Homo-oligomer: A and B are copies of this chain.
């Protein structure tokens, strides 16, 4: 489309467009011609910046691998805020699941490069949870961190097929129970503090 006003390297413009198309429509579904046409450049230029589509895919995934910004909020709040952020992303209509899980799913087990970066990403998320749990003095921080990433990935998978942002709220309520069970004070936060799970309202974005 129209070139953005900011001075941006060609490589970054290619990556940005590839990201949008790969993520929203699938890696195999998008050809390099489509990416070049979307930017308005020739396919030759694209291949001058990336030696192959595989290299572009790898760069796309590496660009998606961003660390969460550091926060000075209390660790328990940071953990729970993860699910609020998730809910906001679910509500956006351009959310289409976890790019790493999707890439592994559609590229298959043979693509070891993709699998490697996906594993690294998932582990980094788990470690992020574990660090905060350690700060909170949770004894079984490692096991609990694993359980929290299960809730994150589970809600992402569910939202991918159901388009239901309430999955993030359900995950948050479950996370609260797990945290409380580990001795973390998560406040009553409107869910009564008696350990009962709040009823989750379900509203679909796309009526079937």
Contact = CB atoms under 8 A, between A and B. Distances in A.
B196 A139 contact: yes
Contact of A105 (B106, B116, B147, B198): B106
Given A96-B109, A101-B157, A195 B199 contact: no
A153 B158 contact: yes
Interface string A118-143: 11001100000000000000011011
A89 interface: no
Contact of A205 (B25, B156, B195): B195
- A-side interface size class: 35 or more
Given A150-B150, A154-B153, A173-B147, A140 B199 contact: yes
A181 to B, nearest CB: 5
Nearest to A30: B108
A97 interface: yes
Interface of A is mostly: helix
Contacts of A26: 28, 105-108
A207 interface: yes
A58 interface: no
Nearest to A176: B181
Given A101-B160, A161-B104, A200 B146 contact: yes
A12 to B, nearest CB: 25
Question: Which of A146, A161, A173, A177 has the most chain B CB atoms inside 10 A of its CB?
Answer: A161
Question: Which of A104, A105, A200, A205 has the most chain B CB atoms inside 10 A of its CB?
Answer: A105
Contacts of A160: 101, 104-105
Given A123-B162, A140-B198, 17 more contacts: A101-B105, A101-B157, A104-B160, A116-B208, A139-B196, A143-B173, A143-B198, A146-B200, A150-B154, A150-B167, A151-B154, A151-B174, A153-B153, A153-B154, A154-B154, A174-B174, A180-B208
